[in-house]
Structure 1
Amino acid sequence: MERAWPFVQRQAELHSIEAVLRNGAGCGILLAGPAGVGKTRLAREVVGRAEGRGVTTRWVVGALSSRGLALGAFAGLLGDLRGDPTGLVTEALRGFLSGARDGQVLLGVDDAHLLDDTSALLVHQLAVQGVAVVVATVRTGEPVPDLVGRLWNDGHLERFEVGPLGQRQTASLLEEFLGGPVERTTVGRVWEVARGNLLYLRHFVAGEVEARRLQPVRGIWRWSGGASMSPGLTDLVTTRMGELTGPAALVVDVLALAEPLEVGLLAGLTDASAVERAEESGLIRVEEAGRRLEARLAHPLFGEARRVRMGTLRARRLRGRVSQALAEAGCDQADDLLRRAVLALDSDLAPDWRLLVEAGRRAGQLCDLPTAVRLGRAAEAAGGGFEAAMIAMGAFNGLSRPSTADFAALTAAAGTDADLVRATVARAIDLAWMASRPAEAEALLDAAESQTSGEEAHRQLMALRALFNGQLARPHRAIEAAVTALASPLLPDEAVLLATTGYITGLATVGRADELAPLVTVGVAAAGRAAQYAFLQFPLTATRLLGLRLAGHLGEATDVARECWESVQGLELPTAIASVLMGDVLLARGRPVSALRWLREAYARLEPFDHAGGFEHVCLIPLIRALALTGDLTAAAEASATLRAREHPMMRFLRPDLLLSQAALAAAQGLASRAGSPSPGRPPRWRRQPDSPLTRSWPCTRRRVWATGRPSGGSPCWPVGWTAHARRPPPSTPPR
């Protein structure tokens, strides 16, 4: 059964309209706004509410098809009236009031800009004579009949601008329509597609639900992207754009494939006068970008509608022209090269492996890993050799997916010890994090150390040793290996990033959080320059937050997590990781309900990435605790069972956090068994306790227990009675 779209609660607009209606007849309101923003729906809501209060209501619609008929908009309401305009209006006034209760009438006029002159005269007389309260809608930018315009110019109607929906309104609408929570990044991306246009939003969401690209994943509605516009939405947007031919079509098509473009470059590819006309007609918009003027399509769906109907050959030719034009214009900065290469990939240009390799490195630096994979593979096919293969393999590592590279062929292609080390590191990361086989990865590392002779090569391998040791809960060995590796001023950025991540993990684990700051600075700087392992900035940030959390620096941890979240928008896996970090910090600050929303969204977002290189494990630990603390014990137990079944061997350094979450769940289950299970979503009562069996029985994890309670002084906040039912862990398995 088709879902019904709910009314968007535009409280500000409704309050203003209600205030006008309370003034009585002779007043009214004019709702003005672009097509599709919800003017009609808002007017319908006003009329419906008035009818519910016993007010007599009428509804008429202006239309192009009836504009040539006198009183065409009122034909369905008043029947067939004949005579001169003055007599028609007089007779229409009598007919309009027939059947009205207590003489009160509210008239809704949709698309008043399309009224015929006689209908406009009737509406004018109804308002001026105080016969009816008028609620009318008009489309901005369209000419309106003179008499309709005079209604608000003379003060009979109060004009109210109805703008596009904001992101919060879009989120509320989506959650009410879909019947469940919607991932915040999905809300943002859907809003970017529709730009608050309610008409476009309805068609778009309906099409994506039907295509199952917008569906619930692990209890959260997510949009997977890659939309293909439904025929209905395509027709709707195409009608809005109007018939495009010749130069105008070329302007829109070029931007549909390559927006934004500098105005001068766009004019050179198309026609300057056509660009001006496209702006004047609302097809494109021109904005300042520093010292330049850039052109974009006026609405994202304009581009999608043109791409759907564009032929493959035309699209390939136009992409090639834009790529060449960028090169001829001297656009040779790193981001320009990336843009040129992506356009060239799907064009009629011959592949240039040098351009593809440079662009692949830049994509890796930006953590745009799917693009890095595409560019690396294309560079390999074009003869890019070892460098191209390393770009693709590094990107697969970052996407937490096993590489398809032939490692034997890759090592054979390594011409130097440095190349052999790079290949070994990539393969070891693949084995340890993606394949969950750390023993094989360390054996590979041992073999590589025996095959290389240079000191610098050994230091690079030692950098990876530091990361291994840190993640495998060998903190002192991690610190020692990192110090050895970082002693070399010639260490490549990728190796610096590996070493600092391992170093920070070791320091955080042993409680030396005050030493993290300078290492973080070094690691972040290296990540900004590294092409192959820039994605390791996220494990680096995660371990930094671990140290801050354990040291009680929760304010700083919140700032770091939020900055990470804001920096990764538009990147699939990094956004999921940043959501985990936000949820973990909020949980440490004693905000389990807010934390739960972030963690549930992160868990849903991680679903396409299998173990996500261990970040599924990282997510489940606080998720178990958040579910337990908010009373959803069934879901908490299910998450705990999932973690036991899918525990990642490279996440041993988080074992104390895992035990803490298990203890929280055990305590909650113990309380529930004695007092009855709390309802899901109803957290138990909180009381500060001076001490508890849980905190006494685990001296080495008291720092972590404190970090998960309230940030203020005193003992952690635990649900009343929970700690009395915690299952004390056996002494033979202390957390490491």
Structure 2
Amino acid sequence: MGGLWQLLDRPTEYEAVHRALTSGDTGGVVLVGAAGVGKTTLARLVTTALPDPVRWAACTASSQAIPLGAFAPWIAASASRDPLALLHSARENLLARPGTVLGVDDAHLLDTLSATLVHQIAVDQGARVVATVRCGEPVPDAVTSLWKDGYLERIELAPFTKQQCTDLVQHVLGGTLEGLSADVMWESSGGNPLFLRNMVEGAVEASTLTDVNGVWQLRGPTAVPSGLVALLDERLTRAGKPVLDVLEMLAVYEPLDIDVLSELVGVEAVDAAESTGMIRVSRHNGAVDVRFSHPLLGEVVRRRVGTAAARARRGRLVDTLRDRDLSTPAHRIRLARLCVDSDRPVGVDLLIDAAKDAVALANLPLGEQLARAACQRGGGLRAAELHSRALLWEGRPREADRILARFDPDKLDPLQLVQWGVVRASLRFWSLGDVEHARELVDLLRARVEYRALRLTVDAAAAAMAVHENHITEGIDAAKQVLADPESPRQAVDFAAFALGLALPVAGRGAEFAPVAARSRAQQKATDGLIRVMVRYGDVLALTTIGDLDLAEQRAAEYREFSSAGQFAGWAVARIAAGVVATYRGRFRDAITAFEQALAALNAEASLPWKLPARLLLARAYAALGEVEHAERVLGDAEEHRGPHMALHEPQRVIARAWLAAAEHRPHAAVELARKAADIARGAGQFAMEAEALHHAARFGDRTVATRLSALASRVQGPVAGIYARHANAVAKADPVALIAASEEFEAAGLLLSAADAAAQAVPIHDHAGRRHPSAEAAARASALAARCDDAGTPAVTAAARPLPITEREREIAALIGRGLSNRAIAERLCVSIRTVEGHIYRACIKLDVADRDQLARLIRSRGSGSNRRKTNGYA
């Protein structure tokens, strides 16, 4: 791993340094930047590429105490002790070879004589000079004048951008870095390449940075290797006691309000620490906060503070903060975390409130930690319910269930019963698939709870379960009643919005979700951060189904802002929402990246049910690109989430299978599966999904669905179903003009692959009529649109771009041969006789002038999906 870190993608800075050392316009360059930003690495990369000799002087704190200490290797042993003689000796030996380049690393540590020597060489242009200087350190006047007086060019080396950090880490790891982990790494390293390297290597060593199905994700505390500790310890040793006092106080909690910190350690100490560059002061929402200049510096300081000293410092902070503003979640969480690890007593109510805040922010590990602390201090059911909920969303449902199983429902009052029962029914239903027990719990709650507000919470949870069981109308009606009731508590509103966010879009009533989504966005605080994230997913899904893809994409981008690795589940759901929009737009590589990263983030002890919708659309994306093996793998993985509690997604499952059949060159099977999906959707009241499934059937060549789609067009909200109907009507009538018109409508709506298919379906109609020019135009349009969809290869696009004089059945059989199936296996799969299969093979071989079945299969593969068959492992 070590050598790969030398690949620093700084082409602009590299060119600037190279130009300064070779153009003759200046005597060289001074690279200025923070410790670890890559100054030395860049300077040495440039000088290594030069044909001239290079002399490097490395300055240290110890060499600074010795006159000409940095250049001691170049001073002759016989040289006089006279300073001028020493300077002359060092200069003569340094510049003995013509064209020498002088490199000075950490020039701010030059002693006075050494700085004078470098200054003289730069002034009289005795050699070209490249020097590095660390920000925030005192610099000798002779060095400062090098750039102030124009002898050397000064180049500020900035930290890496987030994209540069991500690219570098992915190059080193040899795989994709999860987006949320990339955000955390960039924030933690401050874009400093050295800090980033140490953090990554330390996290890999500590197993907090791991590879999950090809996606690297960071979970747990940042690990700091010994190399970085030694580097930063040197700076800390020279900082002085007042500065260390500031840093050690900040180490127990950051950020801290500057007034609070000043009260604890003194204003002068805070100012001194700021002048060293080890802390930074920033304004945020009217407050002035202090934090470490680099988060990893805080990790090193924490290592220096003993356990007892840290507890005492937290205790001092608790005393200072206890009587201050606790009206915000951040303040409550801060005080609770400090109390737990301090030498001061902590109130259970504070811990419970802070745990609620953490769960509401979707920070599951923090919520679990605080709720567990509350349980250990006698928090009772209130703490246990929060602890269980956090474990549930973390993918540990059995542990969550054991916590709640300790309570006897007969001994709980109505409020406690709902707190206990809703969470236990939820984990039984969604995470364990125990629908029967979940229903029994809901029935128990309804039988024993009379208070209206509490009953509404139970009704809302039951509505969400009904939706997942594919009782769409029942779920919608129940959820709408909850939202309409002014007595509905916040938890009931959240659950009802969750239910509607999944039900209204598939029912063809996506436009009705807009006010529900707006109400959720306006609500300042959710009872459960994951439920709120799921409501936001419903918002994106609703906008997608009504055809407002631009707004759907905008909302998906807004909803993915998370700042902590503890919010991984919420981040994953937000990525799934982004993948939904990308799939419908035909941006399949983007969709694959989003879904694969989300699935890796949702990896847990027990597979989280939100993997299912991601997997079903992921399989479609792979199939659209002709990557059959990946599509099969993903659909196989999706089988772990099957049962009545996941019936909502069954139409999507069958649609994914239809796309897989299409990718396998089995258009008849694809049409049958699409129709089956439409029938399942219709039976459940999923009219938008019915329309979509019928649209897929029409794209696969079905001419019988126009009437059914026309009836749905008025029932499904948004313009998309109407376009589906007009396209299906054009397919039924074999009307190429209408097909091109539908293609243009699809393109305007953002449904690019549907647009490509409609144009492609016009090609054989024109060909049959002998209209070569319009056929070529339609084929070109289909090809151009498919190219915008990452070169997707649907049956229609493939046939239009690469027509072969064989029937669909002959193509289907050839594709199955290519997958290694025998004639008997093909016959069984297609429900025909072996002699029929042999006849199709014979006729296809004659038409294509190939010798046998193997050559036939190779030809079909080569003319199939072209570049789409390249393996990408799912990452763009």
Deviates more, 1:181-190 or 1:67-76: 67-76
- Corresponding residue number in structure 2 for 1:206: 201
Deviates more, 1:506-515 or 1:442-451: 442-451
Identify if the C-alpha distance between structure 1 residues 376 and 91 changes in structure 2 by more than 3 Å, giving closer, same or farther: closer
Deviates more, 1:710-719 or 1:357-366: 710-719
Residues 1:460 and 2:457 are matched in the alignment: yes
Q: What are the residue-to-residue correspondences of 1:66-465 with 2, within 5 Å? A: 66-67=63-64, 71-76=68-73, 80=77, 82-83=79-80, 84-86=82-84, 89=87, 95-100=93-98, 104-242=99-237, 247-402=242-397, 403=400, 404-407=402-405, 409-416=407-414, 418-453=415-450, 456-465=453-462
Deviates more, 1:143-152 or 1:303-312: 143-152
- Aligned-partner residue type, residue 498 of structure 1: F
Alpha-carbon deviations, 1:471-520, whole Å to 9, x = none?
A: 22221111222233334221211112212222332221111112111122
CA contact (8 A) 1:30 1:137 kept: yes
- Corresponding residue number in structure 1 for 2:14: 14
RMSD: 3.3
- Aligned-partner residue type, residue 590 of structure 2: S
Query: What is the TM-score when the length of structure 1 is the normalising length?
Result: 0.87
Q: How far apart in 2 are the matches of 1:690 and 1:393?
A: 45
CA contact (8 A) 1:568 1:574 kept: no
- Corresponding residue number in structure 2 for 1:692: 699
Q: How far apart in 2 are the matches of 1:431 and 1:617?
A: 17
Report how many residues are paired: 704
- Aligned-partner residue type, residue 430 of structure 1: L
* Aligned partner of residue 5 in structure 1, secondary structure: helix
Alpha-carbon deviations, 1:259-304, whole Å to 9, x = none?
A: 2222222233333333333233333333334444332233212321
CA contact (8 A) 2:463 2:476 kept: yes
Decide which of 509, 514, 519 is 1:512's aligned counterpart.
509
* Aligned partner of residue 342 in structure 2, secondary structure: coil
Q: How far apart in 1 are the matches of 2:147 and 2:556?
A: 50
Residues 1:556 and 2:554 are matched in the alignment: no
CA contact (8 A) 2:579 2:590 kept: yes
Q: How far apart in 2 are the matches of 1:81 and 1:26?
A: 35
* Aligned partner of residue 141 in structure 1, secondary structure: coil
1:47 CA drift (Å): 0.3
CA contact (8 A) 2:68 2:111 kept: yes
Larger radius of gyration: 2
1:99 CA drift (Å): 4.5
Q: What are the residue-to-residue correspondences of 1:586-665 with 2, within 5 Å? A: 586-608=582-604, 610-612=606-608, 614-647=609-642, 649-665=644-660
- Corresponding residue number in structure 1 for 2:46: 46
Identify if the C-alpha distance between structure 1 residues 499 and 328 changes in structure 2 by more than 3 Å, giving closer, same or farther: closer
CA contact (8 A) 1:353 1:383 kept: yes
Identify if the C-alpha distance between structure 1 residues 197 and 585 changes in structure 2 by more than 3 Å, giving closer, same or farther: same
- Aligned-partner residue type, residue 483 of structure 2: L
Deviates more, 1:208-217 or 1:35-44: 208-217
Q: How far apart in 1 are the matches of 2:473 and 2:337?
A: 45
CA contact (8 A) 1:410 1:423 kept: no
- Aligned-partner residue type, residue 422 of structure 1: Q
- Aligned-partner residue type, residue 106 of structure 1: V
- Corresponding residue number in structure 1 for 2:795: 722
* Aligned partner of residue 50 in structure 1, secondary structure: coil
Residues 1:580 and 2:576 are matched in the alignment: yes
CA contact (8 A) 1:474 1:506 kept: no
Query: What is the TM-score when the length of structure 2 is the normalising length?
Result: 0.74
- Aligned-partner residue type, residue 414 of structure 1: L
Alpha-carbon deviations, 1:401-452, whole Å to 9, x = none?
A: 3113234625234212x43233322211010112122232123323433344
Decide which of 471, 492, 499 is 2:489's aligned counterpart.
492
Alpha-carbon deviations, 1:362-402, whole Å to 9, x = none?
A: 22322223333333333334333333333323333443431
Residues 1:475 and 2:472 are matched in the alignment: yes
CA contact (8 A) 2:510 2:546 kept: yes
Identify if the C-alpha distance between structure 1 residues 711 and 609 changes in structure 2 by more than 3 Å, giving closer, same or farther: farther
* Aligned partner of residue 493 in structure 2, secondary structure: helix
Identify if the C-alpha distance between structure 1 residues 65 and 316 changes in structure 2 by more than 3 Å, giving closer, same or farther: closer
Identify if the C-alpha distance between structure 1 residues 437 and 525 changes in structure 2 by more than 3 Å, giving closer, same or farther: farther
Q: How far apart in 2 are the matches of 1:464 and 1:71?
A: 77
Q: How far apart in 2 are the matches of 1:466 and 1:726?
A: 44
Q: How far apart in 1 are the matches of 2:454 and 2:113?
A: 88
1:67 CA drift (Å): 4.1
- Corresponding residue number in structure 2 for 1:686: none
* Aligned partner of residue 133 in structure 2, secondary structure: strand
Deviates more, 1:139-148 or 1:545-554: 139-148
Identify if the C-alpha distance between structure 1 residues 91 and 602 changes in structure 2 by more than 3 Å, giving closer, same or farther: same
CA contact (8 A) 1:26 1:129 kept: no
* Aligned partner of residue 216 in structure 2, secondary structure: strand
Q: How far apart in 2 are the matches of 1:671 and 1:126?
A: 77
Identify if the C-alpha distance between structure 1 residues 148 and 708 changes in structure 2 by more than 3 Å, giving closer, same or farther: closer
1:42 CA drift (Å): 0.8
1:591 CA drift (Å): 0.9
Q: What are the residue-to-residue correspondences of 1:536-551 with 2, within 5 Å? A: 536-551=531-546
Q: What are the residue-to-residue correspondences of 1:668-687 with 2, within 5 Å? A: 668-670=663-665
- Corresponding residue number in structure 1 for 2:855: none
CA contact (8 A) 1:666 1:726 kept: no
Q: How far apart in 1 are the matches of 2:145 and 2:346?
A: 63
* Aligned partner of residue 192 in structure 1, secondary structure: helix
- Aligned-partner residue type, residue 412 of structure 1: D
CA contact (8 A) 1:17 1:29 kept: yes
1:457 CA drift (Å): 4.6
Q: How far apart in 2 are the matches of 1:24 and 1:456?
A: 80
Q: How far apart in 1 are the matches of 2:521 and 2:92?
A: 77
* Aligned partner of residue 5 in structure 2, secondary structure: coil
- Aligned-partner residue type, residue 633 of structure 2: E
CA contact (8 A) 1:667 1:726 kept: no
Identify if the C-alpha distance between structure 1 residues 452 and 195 changes in structure 2 by more than 3 Å, giving closer, same or farther: closer
Identify if the C-alpha distance between structure 1 residues 16 and 322 changes in structure 2 by more than 3 Å, giving closer, same or farther: same
1:578 CA drift (Å): 1.1
Deviates more, 1:268-277 or 1:7-16: 268-277
- Aligned-partner residue type, residue 314 of structure 1: A
- Corresponding residue number in structure 2 for 1:710: 752
Deviates more, 1:67-76 or 1:185-194: 67-76
Structure 2 unaligned spans of 5+: 668-695, 713-719, 725-745, 759-784, 787-791, 797-807, 814-828, 831-876
- Aligned-partner residue type, residue 378 of structure 2: G
Identify if the C-alpha distance between structure 1 residues 227 and 665 changes in structure 2 by more than 3 Å, giving closer, same or farther: same
- Aligned-partner residue type, residue 563 of structure 1: E
Identify if the C-alpha distance between structure 1 residues 59 and 695 changes in structure 2 by more than 3 Å, giving closer, same or farther: farther
Identify if the C-alpha distance between structure 1 residues 107 and 457 changes in structure 2 by more than 3 Å, giving closer, same or farther: closer
